[in-house]
Structure 1
């Protein structure tokens, strides 16, 4: 049987999706869902579906955690501070549970509980709005008097910092490794993976019965989940090109001194001032990570040259020298050009495509999606299986 015939046959010849005990019984065993994109959103959606016995095909041309993807790179922060709306903190809470469950299943460390130091050079409204929500969820955040902060973290220059907070349960996740683990698990449970790109879809209305792949093959399914991050605007241009905007985000790693105490004593950190910088001491022994949360230039994630911008490097180096004086003059040892896939209001976009209720859009991570991707995948699965109601905050209609 040729590959094209095989793909078409998936719609009419259900393959078996096994659960952990080997049982093949599932009320959803005849449902086939195609998930386009094997980043964090796509992989977690696929995993949740296949665990329910749904037939799943996961499609991505370059694979999980690849260097073009929003889920690429080695590390991502996980924290509970999201402002006054409780849904994100609740999803962090659920995601923590699922990350730890995955870590146990994989027998491989994914989560590193470093704690997180929040430094505000100006208004700390974000923290003030977040504290009641975070405390209600059971997370501990300490307000640090400046003299205590200076004593506890002597490597940091707090001269222009107005307020400091320490979030105990925060830390970082291994992003690329996690995506690879999840996709492997999807396959272990009976899911299928296709290393191919999907072609753009125009004038989508009245439902979707198939997508066309770059090699000309057709893939049929009952539902289609478009979780392809910065490519959403390219794949569904009529709707999403003006809504999902991919921007370049330079990530820099600076060399640490020999026998550096930073790896033992330095928590992960966020610095909110004229710009928002964040980082961590030495993830995966890469060096001292510094990243700028401010949105960069709009890019094409497929064709952009991923050489770090000189102006970006200069800003990061100047910030590093000021905030962490012991690292003044530290050499750049590694760099990456990642990207955000931003929505206009920075909230997630998780909804059915207008006039095509079996096509699902999952994106708009806006730099905050990876950490809550387990909860996102669980929610998308539950929506497809009609177990939960639509969350208006994530609806596409707010942009139409």
Structure 2
């Protein structure tokens, strides 16, 4: 029997045992269990399903739920990573998967707004991004101040020396994208279960998981892609190597009838100025003009931290908008959100085997830039399970994750 979209989404929202109604698979029948239905876990589950495995996806609250790092409204997708070619490659291959997922949806998952990155000086990051994207045959354009003022007069370009435009990239609708991916995963034979997983225990390998409800979930392989909760499930292995930070997002209402701050007049953007990095989106789907500070906020606990924005942060964002987007200087605040990054010491992702259990992968540390890379992360994780002798890529190893932050990846 073919399930309707509503039936699939309702199944994902119900109690743990009810989730099994979306598939004929029963407890213990999975080859691989993936814990965490955010962007990394959902894409890993999908990539493993494509290999022919029976895969069960498990989450304590639901795909891209409100406190997940994959929740919320929108994420930038871009390929500029300085000289970090591997991330540019992953962004490009991931974009094709995102576009394919978005193609047949009633509501778009990907908006091809383009991404414009502002620089106040020549630097290695800008040069490396431009040269790497050109080497990968990714379209990019360097734009000088005169042309910037002509093309986007709604932006005050004071202090900007040049900008790089990535016309083929843009914005992903975050929560909707993950929910759609999980729905597709279920329709194509994967299973989903809502359950809270207890910190796992094992000998030479992990053989089963225990849930807070007293269930035992068995499989031959396990993947943990639990975002900010990874350190709570593996305090001895991950522990102080994961830095969960509070990040505040603001949406402002453009003037009535003003088309300058929506698509196609306005791209997604990132502004590198002095020691600050601001970024944002045009008015996507009439939700408002989004502005956020990419500088890492204070360390928080994802379970207990409040979700109220700091008035000082709002004042900082308003002062910035007055300088860079003068037409929005007095725009009313329409929405706020407090989310989190889960950072590694360097900003590099984690895709590696558990140090004791060869049948268990640890995937995470998105570090505020990982959402767009979800399909590539899923492929890299699936490769390690497909080839037990394969070595993880050096930048993704647990061994490279320190206990002191020194961010190198933006």
Whether TM exceeds 0.5 here: the answer is yes
- What CA distance in whole angstroms lies between the structure 1 residues aligned with 2:89 and 2:203? 34
Q: Quote the residue 1:396 is aligned against.
A: 398
- What CA distance in whole angstroms lies between the structure 2 residues aligned with 1:244 and 1:332? 32
Deviations 1:23-44 (A, max 9, x none): xxxxxxxx61111100000000
Q: Which moved more, 1:131-140 or 1:66-75?
A: 131-140
- What CA distance in whole angstroms lies between the structure 2 residues aligned with 1:63 and 1:284? 24
Written as runs of structure 1 = structure 2, the 5 A alignment for 1:1-400 is 10-11=27-28, 14=29, 32-106=31-105, 108-201=107-200, 205-261=203-259, 262-263=261-262, 264-273=264-273, 274-386=275-387, 389-399=391-401
- What CA distance in whole angstroms lies between the structure 1 residues aligned with 2:141 and 2:248? 30
Deviations 1:209-232 (A, max 9, x none): 111111121211111100010111
- What CA distance in whole angstroms lies between the structure 1 residues aligned with 2:107 and 2:394? 36
- What CA distance in whole angstroms lies between the structure 2 residues aligned with 1:9 and 1:173? 34
Deviations 1:222-262 (A, max 9, x none): 11100010111111111112111111110100111011122
Q: Quote the residue 2:5 is aligned against.
A: none
* RMSD value, Cα: 2.0
- Number of equivalences: 378
Q: Name the SS for the 1:238 alignment partner.
A: coil
Deviations 1:24-71 (A, max 9, x none): xxxxxxx61111100000000111112222111111121112110010
- What CA distance in whole angstroms lies between the structure 2 residues aligned with 1:271 and 1:316? 13
Gaps of 5+ in 2: 1-15, 403-410
Q: CA deviation at 1:313?
A: 1.1
- What CA distance in whole angstroms lies between the structure 1 residues aligned with 2:142 and 2:149? 13
Q: CA deviation at 1:107?
A: 5.3
Q: Quote the residue 2:406 is aligned against.
A: none
- What CA distance in whole angstroms lies between the structure 1 residues aligned with 2:194 and 2:17? 12
